[in-house]
Structure 1
Amino acid sequence: MTQRQTPLVPLGSSVRNLWHVSAQEVDLVRDAPPPPQVAVAQDGERRIQLDINRTALIVIDMQNDFCHPDGWLGHIGVDVTPARAPIEPLRRLLPALREAEMPVVWLNWGNRADRLNLSPALLHVYKPTGEGVGLGDPLPLSGEPVLESGSWAAAVVDELAPWPEDIRVNKYRMSGFKDTELDSILRNLNVTTLLFAGVNADQCVLCTLQDANFHGYDCLLLEDCCATTSPQYCMDATLYNVRQCFGFVIDSEQLVSQLAG
């Protein structure tokens, strides 16, 4: 082995996933700090150990169109009160996760202005008769285009305004893994475990969590940080299926308590 002649330079987009290189050497060994661990429990019973260094929080669709009374759902007559329920638990959780340097990913609808990323089948879900206000159409009161990237309608609610160091990913389907860069980002962060929060629990949250499971991630649904405007049986079925097939269900207050300790 020749003697190292020049210092190695870190190469990578994330401190969690770096090579170190020079003209004479390539070091593929990633730095591996001791894993800070916390323990939580599913339903107060089964103990689950988490490596905080390899965990990220995915917050899904906490956007004005879903959670603000003047947004899209409010316009079509949906009571958005349930969709606002995760706001306060997330306001308590986010500072603790940021202090632990856990990545926070805001996974939101953010459609193109020309809607070329939206198929007729997808548009039909939200505009089945071709009439009314669907994806990309202007809201009657504000004129904001429904769930269009860069609009007030697609922005995260003010109470949860993302920090500059947080990660934003636009999605165009109920699953945040379909046709997005989410998986690549998580791999570059060296993440294996995902915490899920947001709305609607039985739709975009569940679809993304299922796809995460199919991609090989460990999945934990934060029950108190999720909600839905669907009937209660939809939430019950979601919790059942996550526990049964796709991961675990925990409460965010356990994490806050563990991280504070």
Structure 2
Amino acid sequence: MCDDHHQFALGRRSFLAGMAGFAAGASALSLEARADTAAYADPAAPSLPSPGMELDLTRTALVVIDPQIDFMSPKGASWSIVGESVTEQKLVPHLVQLFEAAKRAGIAVVISPHYYYPWDHQWKFGGPLEILQHDLGMFDRKGPLTLDGFEGSGAEFMPELKPFIEDGKTIVCSPHKLYAPIANDLILQLGKQRIDQIILAGMAANLCVESHLRTFLEYGYEVAVVRDAVAAAKLPEGDGYLAALTNFRFIANAVWTTEETVARLDRHG
């Protein structure tokens, strides 16, 4: 076995050995990082300027990242580490509201999903969350050309969201493999629709959502993150939602609630 593969295998075993403590560790996070404190509240006197993002629905898309069972359902592989945040943010009901409002407004709706195929599990190295996702079997599919075993699996879309996604109008991109949309066709699909304003939601806040946000900004898009339509893992290493929320405030063109976003879509629709 090559040194890289040996190191990767050791890392995988280390994560597996620690899985039993994840739920306990998450529940033991400090009070400052929990949603029932002021940790997530917007600052009473913000010092950063508000960019004042105004929607133009002719060039706006709702982009939802990883609306899949493994991330958003108690049946999902990652529920022990993301379930608390998903529940606190009322993520799935808020996504339903966003889908409904986007469809009413007639804007483009785009899905950036996450899938792993058998050969993806042969990677020779990975970061901590990559290794964890592989160990948990998140987003696993038997291959890109088959749906064998896909229905009801963790890689499938949430049942509450499938009617919106499978309406023949929603754009479902090829899968991203890590966090940013570098490996999929999301940027191409948006460009072909002449989209340059993004309403961003999904999972996970400090990983794929933040990486998509940063990529969009670097390409010149205007981005509003829906702060209660994202969620993240809570681990002894930290609260991913809290970490992301800080960066959203620093770099996004807008940080809205679901209620605010729906009102803006309905007003402009």
Asked if Structure 1 and Structure 2 have the same fold, meaning a TM-score greater than 0.5 normalized by the shorter chain, the answer is yes
Deviation at 1:245, TM superposition (A): 2.6
Matching residue's letter, 1:103: A
Amino acid at match of 1:159: E
* Offset at residue 192 of structure 1 (A): 0.5
Alignment of 1:103-118 (within 5 A): 103-115=108-120
* Farther-moved stretch of structure 1 (188-197 vs 244-253): 244-253
Query: Higher helix proportion, which one?
Result: 2
Residue of structure 2 equivalent to 1:255: 261
1:195 aligns with 2:199: yes
TM-score normalized by the length of structure 2: 0.67
Over 3 Å counting, the alpha-carbon distance change for 1:260 and 1:178 in structure 2 is closer
Match of 1:32 in 2: none
Match 1:217 to one of 213, 218, 221 = 221
Tell me if the contact between 2:53 and 2:253 (Cα under 8 Å) persists in the aligned partners: no
Aligned equivalent of 1:88: 93
Note the C-alpha offset of 1:100.
1.5
AA at the equivalent of 2:263: S
Number of corresponding residues: 206
Whole-Å separation in 2 of the counterparts to 1:256 and 1:64: 24
Q: Is the 8 A contact 2:233 2:241 kept in 1?
A: no
Cα distance in 1, alignment partners of residues 264 and 127 from structure 2: 43
Does the C-alpha gap of structure 1 residues 191 and 134 become closer, same or farther in structure 2, counting only changes over 3 Å? Answer: same
Gaps of 5+ in 1: 1-41, 137-144
Q: For residue 251 of structure 2, what is the aligned residue in structure 1?
A: 245
Bigger CA radius of gyration: 1
Instruction: Determine if contact 1:135/1:147 at 8 Å carries over to the other structure.
Output: no
The aligned runs of 1:69-84 (5 Å cut-off) are: 69-74=74-79, 77-78=80-81, 80-84=83-87
1:229 positional shift: 2.2
Give the whole-Å Cα distance in 2 for the aligned partners of 1:192 and 1:100. 17
By relative contact order (CA 8 Å, sep 6+), the higher-ranking structure is: 2
* TM-score, scaled relative to structure 1: 0.68
Aligned-residue CA RMSD (Å): 2.9
- Gaps (5+ residues) in structure 2? 1-41
1:111-163 superposed Cα distances (whole Å, 9 cap, x missing partner) = 234328x73333864437x9x54457xxxxxxxx4697642221111111113
Which position in structure 2 is the counterpart of 1:184?
A: 188
1:11 maps to none
Which stretch of structure 1 is more off in the superposition, 82-91 or 221-230? 82-91
Whole-Å Cα distance in 2 between the matches of residues 108 and 115 of structure 1?
Answer: 15
Please name the residue that 2:212 is paired with: 208
Change (3 A) 1:79 1:227: closer
Residues in 1 aligned to 2:43 and 2:159: alpha-carbon distance in whole angstroms: 31
Q: Deviations over 1:51-79 (max 9, x none)?
A: 111011111112111122222113xx435
